[in-house]
Amino acid sequence: MALSLSFDDGRESQVTQGLPVFARHGAKVTLFVVPSAMERRLEGWKQAVAAGHEIGNHSLTHSCSGNFPFSRQKALEDSTVARMREELVAANARIAELLGVTPRTFAYPCGQTFVGRGRNTQSYVPVVAELFLAGRGWMDEAPNDPAFIDLAQTTGVEMDGKDLAAIRPLLDDARKTGAWLVLAGHEIGTDGRQTTRIAMLDELLAYAKDPAQGIWLATVAEAADVVARRQKP
């Protein structure tokens, strides 16, 4: 099985709290960033790149459904496929400018893949398929079957707030079928909302790095490259 750890939004705790945790296990993760969020701690994000972590795209403005009050003024219901395309291209350019790397993978803000409403709803998955090797969802239930998945809709399972006991069944399930489990989180710390626990990460990474467990720990792009090669007709 393959396991990828991913973190969204470019939150500060990912570099202040997360980088030391990943370093002590020699683990590489994927950080899906909103470029403006990185500007406060740019040095930390540059360190993340230097340490070999993957930087992915998480859009420029983090547009979600306007049903979320924070997204009412930038609602996906009011957006278009063309606007999303522009935004994702612009975010890649800004990330390249700030960090010198161009993202090859994307995480859908709020895991939402649509624009418009009702009969005029469209999907922006085709744009993600065109621009990126893979697009990761959020709050999904199952790991990815490498033989079948559409990389543009790679699943992402929440790890925020969970302890290793809650993650273990997901690993056992993925191991049984040779699947690729992509875990997704936000803050990294000891407690609090939308926070992946440091204690869980320490346990999980020690477990995943034990050769006896048969887990390939890879960034989203590394694992997606293998899936893409395998799926090539």
Give contact residues for Zn ion (rule: CB under 5 A).
8-9, 109
Three-state DSSP class for residue 69? helix
Looking at the Cβ atoms of 77 and 158, the one nearer to Zn ion is 158
Instruction: Using the minimum distance from each CB to Zn ion, give the nearer residue, 55 or 171.
Output: 55
Q: Which residue is nearest to Zn ion (CB)?
A: 8
Amino acid at 108: Y
Q: Closest distance between Zn ion and the C-beta of residue 139, in Å?
A: 11
> How big is the chain by its Cα radius of gyration, in Å?
17
Q: 218: number of CA atoms within 13 Å, CB side? A: 16
Q: How far apart are CA 162 and CA 197, in angstroms?
A: 7
Nearest distance in Å: CB 58, Zn ion: 6
Q: At closest approach, how far in Å is the CB of 186 from Zn ion?
A: 7
Residue type at 193? R
CA distance 124 to 158: 22
Question: How buried is residue 169: exposed, middle or buried, by Cβ count under 10 Å (0-12/13-18/19+)?
Answer: exposed
Closest contact distance (angstroms) between CB of 23 and Zn ion is: 24
Q: Pick the closer one to Zn ion by CB: 33 or 205.
A: 33
Q: How far is the CB of 212 from Zn ion (least distance, A)?
A: 35
Q: Which tokens is 188 given? A: 């990294």
Q: Is 123 helix (H, G, I), strand (E, B) or coil?
A: strand
Residue 176: DSSP 8-state: H
